[in-house]
Amino acid sequence: MFERDIEVELKKWQDSPIRKVLVLRGARQVGKTSVVRKFGGDNFRQVVEVNLENKEHQQIFAGVLSVADFVQRAEVQLGKELVDGESLLFVDEIQESQEMLELLRFFVEERPKLHVVVAGSLLEAKMAGKWSVPVGRVEYMYLYPLTFFEYLRVVGQEKWREYLSKLQLGQKMTGEVAIQRLFRDYMLVGGMPEVVESYVKNKNMLLVQEIQSRLQTSYIDDIAKYASSAERKYLELVIVTAPKLAGELFKYENMGESGYRGREMREAVEILEKIMLLRQVKSVNSVELPLLPKEKRAKKMIYLDTGMVNYINKVQSELMGGKYRGKVMEQVVGQILIASSLREKRELYYWARDRDQGSAEVDFVLLQGEKVVAMEVKLGETRVMKSMFSMLESGGNKIVPVRVGWDALKMEKYKYRKQEYEILSLPFYLLDRWEELVG
């Protein structure tokens, strides 16, 4: 088991005097179970693990009536005593038991000193309409595929990670060619833990692709666990189509040249967004707070993992060539931006001028406090950013402009229509630090 950045947040949760039951959310196979086991082993005397997909565990806890009843069954049937402050109770695949879900609200009241983590990849899809979140009784964390900095640690490039973590504006970068090559490797391998682990062990891209293929198939197979028979064809189509649309705009109507109506496709996309296989990036046309998305405009697709996107599109050998490279760079930027928020779901948008005002589009927009951060993804040496300047003209000093590309970390000066602007040049390989560097 390798180290994940979320372990720092888990330690804060463990030590918090206002700790609640923790719900760990994330798509299947992003490493939720492994990270909880590792964290528990490192910080508690024992981990008491219950997996509600396990038939034996389902039988043990069927019809559980109370916290005391649950604890008694766990101690008698599993042979482990639940000791406040010393034991970590981990309930995995909790969506398989509505009784356990409803019991969560009472742990805070009856066993506040017992550390409880629950996880469930299909939770929101499977329990839609059957379970209301016990407000004030649980808190959330989110786990995603590995970011580039996490990848560097796992593949034995910790010195590079340390160097990049300390690099400051104005400091000359050394070894740019080497770090760019590592970032391209990251895009090919992706951040799915099993894939990265195989790559580190075998250095064999054919084995990597085998695992990526199996993961994609497993997501299709999972549909039967949470969808009605009428929904399945729409969900399967979205899972197959979404990686091909990654990094570009799409509409629900006739998605994937399917001929299906917009309503069915919208519902399918929203279900897969709930189980965190994809993210829809919605459009905004104003920088006034709060940001209000234009629901009827096209959305931008960000799929779970860039490595899987490249595998499904069969473009590993041409990753940085042709039109594809633009969309795959937007995919990886979106993926890392989403993964940079572990405590709450990161809201991510793109900016587009209203149609009657002409054509202008900025790739990503997100909030940092009361500031609106605008990111334009640029490849090569291009400095043409008319869309960014249009947005800056509309929003003034509320906007922090960022150009994401291969160039070094620095502040750049631009002049447009007699107005001067300073824009942060943020290299792809420093995206993990975007909040710090923008701030």
- Would you write out the chain's pLDDT as a tens digit for each of its 439 residues? 789 999 999 999 999 999 999 999 999 999 999 999 999 999 999 999 999 999 999 999 999 989 999 999 999 988 989 999 999 999 999 989 888 888 988 998 999 999 999 998 888 787 666 666 566 788 999 999 999 999 999 999 999 999 999 999 989 888 999 999 999 999 999 999 999 999 999 999 999 999 999 999 999 999 999 898 999 999 999 999 999 999 999 999 999 889 999 999 999 999 999 999 999 999 999 888 899 999 999 999 999 999 999 999 987 655 555 667 889 999 999 999 999 999 999 999 999 987 766 678 999 999 998 899 999 999 876 667 889 999 998 876 789 999 999 999 999 999 888 888 999 999 999 999 999 999 8
Q: Is the residue at 374 inside a domain? A: yes
Let me know whether 205 and 59 are in one domain. Answer: no
Strand partners, 19: none
For every residue of 260-286, DSSP letters joined together read --HHHHHHHHHHHHHTTSEEEEEEES-
| Residues 246, 355 within the same domain | yes
Residues 6+ apart with CB under 8 A from 199: 155, 189, 205, 207, 208
Predicted pLDDT of residue 132: 63
Identify the domain boundary among 142, 176, 201: 142
Helix (H) or strand (E) holding 298: none
Residue 83 within any structural domain of the chain: yes
Together in a domain, 191 and 307: yes
pLDDT given at position 326: 84
Are 269 and 278 in contact by the 8 Å Cβ rule? The answer is yes
Q: Are residues 169 and 317 in the same domain?
A: yes
Phi, psi dihedrals of residue 393, rounded to the nearest 5°:
-65, -35
Q: What is the CA radius of gyration of the chain?
A: 23
Chosen domain end from 119, 142, 165:
142
In this structure, the strands spanning 87-92 and 115-119 are parallel
Same structural domain, 226 and 122: no
CB atoms within 10 A of CB 405: 20
What range does the domain containing 82 cover? Answer: 6-142
Which residue, 111, 51, 64, is CA-closest to 86?
111
Say what the pLDDT of residue 318 is: 58
With respect to residue 398, please indicate whether it lies within any of the assigned structural domains: yes
| Final residue of a structural domain among 124, 142, 160 | 142
Token pair for residue 50? 């219950």
**328 and 203 in one domain?**
yes
HSE-up (13 A, CA, CB side) for residue 106: 13
Q: Are residues 370 and 432 in the same domain?
A: yes
Is 124 found in the same domain as 181? no
> CATH code at 66?
3.40.50.300
Do residues 130 and 262 both lie within one domain? Answer: no
Instruction: Please check whether residues 177 and 286 belong to one and the same domain.
Output: yes
The total domain count for the chain is 2
Asked whether residue 1 is domain-assigned, the answer is no
Q: What is the largest CA-CA distance in the chain?
A: 76
| d(C-alpha 348, C-alpha 340), whole Å | 11
In a domain, 330, yes or no: yes
Per-residue pLDDT, 238: 97
- Residue 36 domain-assigned? yes
- For the CA atoms of 257, 322, 175, 306, the dihedral, rounded to the nearest 10 degrees, stands at 10
Does 182 lie in the same domain as 66? no
Q: What is the identity of the amino acid at 389?
A: F
361 and 288 within one domain: yes
Q: Are 250 and 231 in contact (CB under 8 A)?
A: no
Q: What is the distance between the alpha carbons of residues 227 and 236, in angstroms, rounded to a whole number?
A: 11
